[in-house]
Amino acid sequence: MLEDLFKVVKSRMDDKAPAEKGKKVSIPSDLLFKCPRCKNVMFMDDFIGSAKVCSECGYHSRLSARERLDMTIDKGSFVEYDRDMTSLNPIGFPDYEEKIASLQQKTGLLEAVVTGECTIRRHPCVIVVMDSRFMMASMGSVVGEKITRAFENATEKGLPIVVFAASGGARMQEGIVSLMQMAKTSAAAKRHSDAGYLYITVLTDPTTGGVEASFASLGDIILAEPKVLVGFAGRRVIEDTIKQRLPDEFQSAEFQLEHGFADMIVERSKMRRTLSKLLKLHEKDGGLA
Amino acid sequence: MSELSVWERIEIVHHKGRPTVRDYIPMIFEEFYEMHGDRLFGDDGAITGGIARLGGIPVTFIGQVKGRDIEENKKTNFSMPHPEGYRKALRLAKQAEKFHRPVICFIDTPGAFCGVQAEERGQGEAIARNLFEFSTLKTPIISVVLGEGGSGGALALGVCDELAMLENATYSVISPRGFASILWKDASREKEAAEIMHITADDLQRLGVCEQIIPEPSGGAHNNPQQMAENLSEYLGDAVQRLLKKDIANLLDSRYNKFRKIGMFSEPQAGK
Ligand SMILES: [Zn+2]
């Protein structure tokens, strides 16, 4: 199997014009995974087999919402909320509709977040999964509304909520309306909290900007995947201000743990089990009734 | 409102003589005792706060401080708060809730500070916590954008029952320069960005973000700070009286719904 792959890679390389040979070899993206953190190269099959975790540095790479749900929740338990909700163009940003349409085509998603109800090892909860392939899962009206409704549904039904956060921040193409989604989602999280229900945040790659500065930082329990990027300001913005390069660990999950902004770092292979145990601890009589 | 272009308004807002929080405090309040510190880390000069008296009524005041000169800007970090600034604001707001005082917030910031220490101390968490806690604070909250309302750093003092904006003030998710630089990879297109971003008081009233526009003296607040302060006082006095009459449960429901209804989306099968 591996040898076959090698052959394919090799023959593709051989296709290159002679002038390009020996200079820069481009890697066929569908066959190999190159870790953005440590530059380690893995065969795609191995990478997928290890739940998209880098074998060298442990970076937990980005997942689609579908992949995340498949590896987290009980098969067949998912009931999706608000699947058909789509974006409009609140400030008339040029070409916004076209951009959305092309992403819908490319990702098979209508927007950047999937919400619904499910069970995790038979423990019921509301679940929110952001998908960074869709405009870096930035938060505009649809993302804000679907997450707000997820909190409201959880409050109404007395359910805990688990949010897999991933986002570049507010969706600038929607102007001030996107900023207001931060207040809207946080207020819904507050009502859920005041009603006495559990909110678990899972910080995944990347959780930044207006999402990090709203609901993603408000969980009763905040988990993070290893090596992922979590922070408020863009790294380049800070580097430009202080005129020096920041260390690689800056704004990592480990950085957040060290500074007191995450409770635990949980590997992907242990996430489902960890979530189910935490859900159980918060059920009536500690789940032993 | 006067017929100025967005860019002209931005220039007025950045005018060197534009009155700041420090100018308004003595003109608006009969008394003001400044309080310091977040009780966790330190005292942030970018946000001032304390207890004041407005038309006889005790209120808690919180405001972002633009410096009027380089010396003052060094102390106030050009009005870009660190997490301890937001946490000081929250501490004072909680105190206001305890003593049933209305909270008045003046917003005037390019944004929350982007720096190593701000990240280490949880800038995102500090902003998020304010959005969370202010949403159910059991006392009236009035926020006023004086000049620049920059992104999450402004919103952290902007979860309120009523948002007012001075006539020439702007409030945006990112600066026009940042918008142009990120979306068009060309910061020099900032004027064009300003025109399409919908960031003026008028725009924000139309989008349901801003409830009141406070008129400025002709040409901008710097032309007559005294007049501007009077306009502000008049609005604040009225708003405090009005909001104090509401019962708390109603007040909190309207506050929730004020933000709840902001957003534009389509739902083909919305029949639930
Ligand atoms: Zn790696």
> What is this model's ipTM?
0.97
The verdict on A28 and A80 lying in the same domain is: no
Amino acid A205 reads D
Q: What is residue A6's predicted lDDT score, i.e. its pLDDT?
A: 40
| Bridge pairing between strands A79-81 and A113-120 | antiparallel
CATH code at position B183: 3.90.226.10
Mean pLDDT, chain A, integer: 91
A142, A175, A231 member nearest B173 (Cβ): A175
pLDDT by residue (tens digit) across A130-180?
A: 999 999 999 999 999 999 999 999 999 999 999 999 999 999 999 999 999
What is the CB-side half-sphere exposure of residue A271 using CA atoms within 13 A? 25
CATH code at position A134: 3.90.226.10
The verdict on A28 and A162 lying in the same domain is: no
Provide the residue range defining the domain that includes B60: 6-253
The verdict on A14 and A70 lying in the same domain is: no
Query: Which tokens in the block code for residue A126?
Result: 């509301």
**Cis-peptide into B102, omega within 30 deg:** no
The pLDDT confidence band at residue A4, using thresholds 50, 70 and 90, is very low
Q: What is residue A136's predicted lDDT score, i.e. its pLDDT?
A: 97
CA nearest to A171, candidates B110, B208, B174: B174
Instruction: Measure the CA–CA gap between B136 and B70, rounded to whole angstroms.
Output: 38
Please check the confidence at residue A22 and state whether its pLDDT lies above 50. Answer: no
Please check the confidence at residue A1 and state whether its pLDDT lies above 80. Answer: no
The pLDDT confidence band at residue B2, using thresholds 50, 70 and 90, is low
Give this prediction's pTM.
Answer: 0.94
The answer to whether B256 contacts A210, with C-beta atoms less than 8 Å apart, is: no
Q: What is residue A3's predicted lDDT score, i.e. its pLDDT?
A: 39
The verdict on A122 and A264 lying in the same domain is: yes
A:B CB pairs within 8 Å: 186
Q: Say how many Å lie between the CA of residue A65 and the centre of ligand 1.
A: 22
Q: What is residue A25's predicted lDDT score, i.e. its pLDDT?
A: 56
Question: Per the structure, how many domains does chain A have?
Answer: 2
pLDDT by residue (tens digit) across A221-276?
A: 999 999 999 999 998 889 988 888 999 899 999 999 999 999 999 999 999 999 99
Q: What is the DSSP string of B76-132?
A: HGGG---HHHHHHHHHHHHHHHHTT--EEEEEEES-S--SHHHHHTTHHHHHHHHHH
The pLDDT confidence band at residue B114, using thresholds 50, 70 and 90, is very high
Query: Which tokens in the block code for residue A58?
Result: 């442990």
pLDDT by residue (tens digit) across B226-268?
A: 999 999 999 999 999 999 999 999 999 999 999 999 999 999 8
Q: Are B161 and B118 in contact (CB under 8 A)?
A: no
Residue B181 distance to chain A (closest CA, Å): 12
Instruction: Measure the CA–CA gap between B247 and A229, rounded to whole angstroms.
Output: 44
Which of A61, A87, A103 marks a domain boundary?
A61
The answer to whether A183 contacts B264, with C-beta atoms less than 8 Å apart, is: no
Provide the residue range defining the domain that includes A89: 62-288
Q: At how many degrees (to 10) do helices B123-134 and A176-194 cross?
A: 70
